[in-house]
Amino acid sequence: MAELEDYSGEYKPDLKLEDFSKDFLIRLMHAWASAYLRVDEMWYSSVAERTSAQEAFNCQLAAWLRIAEINVPKIAKAANIQVNDIVDFLKVAQVLPDGVQAGVFEAELDIRSRNHVIMTVTRCRTLEFLEKRAPERIVSICHGIDIPINEKYLTVFLPDAKFPPLKLPDGPRKSPDEVPCIWELRR
């Protein structure tokens, strides 16, 4: 059977992902990544409406910490990535549904050694969204969510590693050209 470029034809009860072309799977992965992040946004709003912004934040942080513990290692395993150092961890970070391949952010890496990397985020779509729609949440997301989540994503694999921010936004940027954030990954 020829690879499917889309699923516009007849229903196939025995359909498998292997039936689709690489281009279709890439488009599907981008759609899944977008949905993955929208779920977070939607349930945060739902919890905040029913309880409070603080309770929604607490639930959001707890959920992302669980994702780091459970889903991130599964993704590394699926990709056959053995994490022995920071550079290996960066391979995992590349394929996460909330990262670079998903288009959430763009970054430049200064790899100083296999266990020391400076990551400069040059574009962050989350920050862009927050600047337009919820500037009051920038600090809670960039400081209150990103710091512990990034640390957890890394320490799930390398318990003795650190992922501190060197620069984070404290509110909307003065210019869209301003670097959103800078992180140090070290062990």
Three-state SS at 20: strand
36 pLDDT above the threshold of 90:
no
Closest CA to 106 of 125, 121, 89, 91: 121
Dihedral of the CA atoms 74, 148, 34, 77 (nearest 10)? -10
Range of lowest pLDDT (61-70, 92-101, 165-174) = 92-101
Mean pLDDT, the chain, as a whole number?
Answer: 94
In degrees and rounded to multiples of 5, residue 121 shows phi and psi of -80, 115
- CA 55 remoteness from chain centre: 22
Reported as half-sphere exposure (CB side, CA atoms, 13 A), residue 29 has a value of: 18
Whole-number pLDDT of residue 163: 98
Set out the domains of the chain in order of their start, with CATH numbers: 20-186 (3.30.1380)
- pLDDT tens for each residue of 145-175: 999 999 999 999 999 999 999 999 999 999 9
Distances (CA, A) of 156 to 67, 69, 109, 127, 148: 11, 6, 21, 25, 12
Q: How far apart are CA 131 and CA 145, in angstroms?
A: 16
Q: How far apart are CA 103 and CA 33, in angstroms?
A: 9
Q: How confident is the model at residue 1 (pLDDT cuts 50, 70, 90)?
A: low
- pLDDT tens for each residue of 105-155: 999 999 999 999 999 999 999 999 999 999 999 999 999 999 999 999 999
In degrees and rounded to multiples of 5, residue 13 shows phi and psi of -65, -20
Average pLDDT over residues 43-53: 94
Q: How confident is the model at residue 40 (pLDDT cuts 50, 70, 90)?
A: confident
Q: How confident is the model at residue 42 (pLDDT cuts 50, 70, 90)?
A: very high
Q: How confident is the model at residue 187 (pLDDT cuts 50, 70, 90)?
A: very high
**Percent of the chain predicted with pLDDT > 70:** 99
Whole-number pLDDT of residue 100: 80
**Percent of the chain predicted with pLDDT > 90:** 84
Terminal-residue alpha carbon distance, the chain: 49
Whole-number pLDDT of residue 91: 96
